[in-house]
Amino acid sequence: MFYCSLCENETCYISKFCSKCRKIKHYLNLYNERVYEVLDNVLSRDIDKQNNKIQVEIKDEIKNKEEKIEVYKVPQLRSMSKK
Ligand SMILES: [Zn+2]
């Protein structure tokens, strides 16, 4: 039996990594040091604090998207009110 070189749980016959670990490898190729920073910052906390950290990290992103949605909605509402 051959096992994934990273998780050492999944069986792998052709590749070195299982599909989930292949994804991690892609993240490493793309973001390099950032992957280690995120893992250290997020996974070193307990589950509640991890969720809080994730919420804080994505809060700005969510706010930006909501603002974009609002900007898009306003012209549509204006045109509807004219009718
Ligand atoms: Zn694996």
38 C-alpha to ligand 1 centroid (Å): 19
pLDDT of the residue at 7: 96
What is the pTM (predicted TM-score) of this model?
Answer: 0.53
> Do 15 and 41 share a structural domain?
no
pLDDT in tens, the chain (83 residues): 799 999 999 999 999 999 999 999 999 999 999 999 888 888 888 888 878 878 887 888 788 888 888 887 766 665 666 55
Number of domains forming the structure of the chain: 2
Half-sphere exposure of 65 (CA within 13 A, CB side): 5
User: What length is written for the chain?
Assistant: 83
Looking at the structure, do residues 6 and 23 belong to the same domain, yes or no?
yes
CA of 40 to the centre of ligand 1 (A): 20
What is the CA(39)–ligand 1 centre distance, in A?
17
pLDDT at 61: 79
Domain that residue 54 falls in: 36-82
Dist. CA 6–CA 25, nearest whole Å: 9
pLDDT of residue 65: 85
For tokens 């039996």, the residue is 1
CA of 63 to the centre of ligand 1 (A): 35
Is the domain of 44 the same as that of 27? no
The pLDDT value recorded for residue 81 is 60
